[in-house]
Structure formats: C-alpha cells, structure tokens
Amino acid sequence: MNPKTKKILIIVAIILVVLGVFVLLYQSAGKEAFIRTALSGLTLGSLFFLVAGGLTLIFGLMDVLNFAHGSMFMLGAYIGWQLYTNPTFIFGLLPQILAFAAGVTLTSTIKPYLIKWNLPEKWVKALPKMGYFVALVMAVLSFVGLDIMGLADTAMVAVTTTTVGNPLAEISVQEPLAQYWFRPVLMLLSGALIAFASSKPGNKTEFAPNENLFPKILVPIGLFVLAIGATLIRESAPVAILLMDGNWRFAIALLVSILFGFVFGAVVEITLIRPLYVRPTFIIILTLGLSYVIRELVQLLWDPLAYQMVRPPQFAQLGKAVNILDWLQNGKATIDIAGVTFPTYRLFVIVLGILMFIFITVLMTRTRLGMIIRAGVQDPQMVEALGINVKSVFTIVFALGVAMAALGGIGSGPFLPIQPLMGDQYQTQGLITVVIGGMGSYVGAFLGAMILGMARAFGDYFALKYSLSTAIAEASTVIIMVIVLLARPQGLFGKKE
C-alpha cells in the first residue's frame, strides 16, 4: 500500500475512533460537563505537546534521550515567574550568562583552524582537559562575592499592577559597574576556553566542513553585544519592566523564557551532550544527573515551596466575556463557550499549543533549516560532505526543543503551582506522547498529546463523579500507550526501522 494512502487511512481511523468515544462521553456526561472537560483536556494536551514537541525534536530526530527535559520545563516556569514578579535576579545574572554563551558559540568559528594545528599527541590529549579545567576555575571566580541569594529573594514578594504602595520597594541594589565588569569578562573567557577545548585542537581526525564562517561569527558577536547592553542596564531595566503594564510584562516573560531555554539548550548541547554522541548510555546518565542538579539549584535559590504566578490583567478582570471580542476589549477572567463558563487563560494555553504545532510544521516542511535537519538526521555524512555543519544543526535542534519546554513552563505558570517537582509529571507524559505518536513525528506528537490530555481530563471527571480512585485517571495515559503499542509498535505515525 502507498505510504501516503496508509497515513491517510490511519488518520481517518483515529478520527472515527475519537468521534465515537466523544459521542459516548457526551451521552454519559451531558453537554455542559462534556464541553468543560473537553476544553480542560485540550489545555492539558497543549501543555503535553509543548513538552513532547521538544522531546520529538531531540529524542525522535537526534536519538538523544533527554531526562532533564522536565526540569527544563520547570526552569522555564521559574525564570518567567521571576521576571514577571521582579526581574532584578534575571538582570543581575544576565550579562554573565550571555557572555558565557558568546564564548561557547565560538566553537563553529574557531574549530576549522584549531584542528589544523600540528601538535604532539600528548598535547592533543592534554589541551582539552586543561581548557575545561581553566574554564571551570574562571566560571567559579566570576561568581565569587556575588550575592546570588539576595538577588533571588527579590521575587519572594509578587509585584503586580494592583500592588498597593511602592512597587519598586523590593528591588535590591545592584553591584556597581566598577566592581561588576570583570564577571562577564571572566565568563566570556570561560566560554571561549570551552569552545577551544571542545574543538579538540590538533586532532586531525575531527571534521570541519569547508563553509563560509562569516555567518557563524555573527552569533557570538550578537551575544557579546547583548552582554554589554545587559551590563549597562542592570539597574534601570528591572525598574522599567516593573512599571510596565502587566500584559506587556507577561509578554516579555514569555519571550525571556523562550530565549533562556534556547541559549541554555545550546550551551548544554555544546558542552555536555556533543562529546557523548558516541556513548548514548552516558547521555542518559548525564541528563538524569543534570535534572537533579537543576532541581537542587532551584530549591537552593527559591526554597522548596510552591508559588502561584498572578495572571496577567488581560486574563484577570472580574466578570465573564460573552465572546472573544468582549474579552479582548475588557480582559475578563472567564468566557462563555456554548453556555459553559471557562477561564480565558486556559484558552490562551490551547492556542499557544496549536501555534507551536503550526510553527514546527512550517519549520520542518517549508524551510531550508527543516530540510537540513531532516537530511542531517537521515544521512549526516552526506550533509557534511555538502559543506553543512551538522553539529551546529543538532545544536539548533536541541536548543529549539529546550526552548519549547521553557515556553510550556512559563505558559503553565498562571494556573499551575510553580514548584521544583512540577516538571516530573510532564516529563513522563511527554515521553508517553512521543512513544504514542511515533519517534520523530511531530504530527503524531500533537495528536498523541491531545488524546492523552482528553484521557486525563475525562478520567479525572469520571473518577470524581463515581467516587473512584484518582489513580485510575493517572493510569489512563499508560493504558492508552499500551493499546497503541500493541496495535502499532512503532506508534501512530512512526516508521518501521
């Protein structure tokens, strides 16, 4: 059978099964309960997809099992919450983070020159180790004497547009520029040394494609310029953001979480994942350990407490909007949908998940980068022979996956408690979604996420209605995975190896 015809038949069969299940659920639950529960299921499904979409890019395309993905989801929530409540912490560390990223991203630029060095064998082995060691020392020195805990404490009091009194009272005084400037400089040198070490100078067995290096140098230059700008506005930027309208502040929080996830993912891939591609078992152990490190670091900075992020004003005004236009004009907290009252912010999460699915679809099918990603996964040697740096492409893929997880984290912040363990559940559901949809299939990941979201929502509804154990609802997603794998071991849209 033609693969396209087979794919169409699978989609039709899934739609028919889902419609049949929906008819049964509608008859059992009734109109109002069905609509409310279905919308809740779509909300959960969108969050599952924001995690599973990133896992599909990383695990499905790169064969990298990232057990720290849930922690990165959680980290995105904390970063966005910190910026929304009080961005002093973010801007207090941003110059160092950007400077370090600028140094690390020099790898693609300097590697073609470093591997041509004529060095004795002992120096080829020793230089990377020395580079990593000195880089670690410089990174530690850049934080000596910096009051990180004091910066983190600035978010303990939520600052919103409705705060009574002075909203700037919780801003701590930043370290003077004359005492601070050396910190980003040390982080820049630390990142550059990591780029030097990971390039393996003198190792002529390494391959560097013959390509135009000018576009590559633009990334570290851009990050370096941003680091300089962030250094100069460390004190003024938090004040300006806190005086903004809450909606704009939330939009900036979304953007910062995405950018943080992208930069963090790129740095992790270059420094930790890339050297271990030939040892996939080590990657599993490393990412598992990284998840614990991230979790403990978060608990150290913000305490093992659960915080609730205040909804932006657009989703917080009292009353119920009669339609979308009324909500856009008045920013009501709820909206009427077919006679059912539903929170407007949850509708925003649903739209966010759909937009990200459209983004991935367009990226992978309509852009040159998507073509290179798909080709690089299937035949990396041929793509490198064409002059394309596959390692850089994999860095972008990993960074995009982490950025999606970070977006899911901050997107969930206004209606989920922000706490150190929040990523664990979504890590598990994301892995189940990827397995159900099929490795590397973003269409399968999207449909799988929506199916799991519906299953969990209706499972919770019926468990509550008939006084059943909540464990039944929690087990529903695993039961669906087992059924799918028994029928199609490769997943709904996966391909047989």
pLDDT in tens, 228-250: 999 998 888 888 888 888 899 99
More confident residue, 163 or 341: 341
pLDDT at 49 > cutoff 50: yes
Convert 479-489 to b/e letters by CB count within 10 Å (16 or more is b): ebbeebeeeee
Question: What is the pLDDT, as a whole number, of residue 4?
Answer: 67
Angle at 161 between CA 160 and CA 164, to 5 degrees: 85
pLDDT at 119 > cutoff 80: yes
What SS3 class is residue 139?
Answer: helix
Place of tokens 């009194």: 165
Is residue 99 in some structural domain? Answer: yes
Question: What is the pLDDT, as a whole number, of residue 46?
Answer: 92
73 Cβ neighbours under 8 A, 6+ residues apart: 50, 51, 405, 406, 408, 409, 422, 423, 426, 427
Q: Are 276 and 288 in contact (CB under 8 A)?
A: no
Is residue 492 in some structural domain? Answer: no
Domain count across the chain: 1
Is residue 169 in some structural domain? Answer: no
Angle at 470 between CA 465 and CA 472, to 5 degrees: 95
pLDDT tens digits for range 266-289: 889 988 888 888 788 888 899 999
Is residue 370 in some structural domain? Answer: yes
pLDDT at 371 > cutoff 90: no
Question: What is the pLDDT, as a whole number, of residue 205?
Answer: 72
Going through 22-124 in order, the beta strands assigned E by DSSP cover none
Is residue 494 in some structural domain? Answer: no
Is residue 22 in some structural domain? Answer: no
Q: Picking from 228-237, 321-330, 445-454, 465-474, which range would have the lowest pLDDT averaged per residue? A: 465-474
Domain that holds residue 135: 27-156+175-487
pLDDT tens digits for range 286-332: 999 999 999 999 998 888 888 888 889 899 888 888 888 888 888 88
Cα dihedral 411, 417, 421, 423 in deg (nearest 10): -20
Is residue 346 in some structural domain? Answer: yes
Is residue 362 in some structural domain? Answer: yes
Give the strand pairing for 332-337 and 340-343. Answer: antiparallel
pLDDT at 445 > cutoff 80: yes
pTM over 0.75: yes
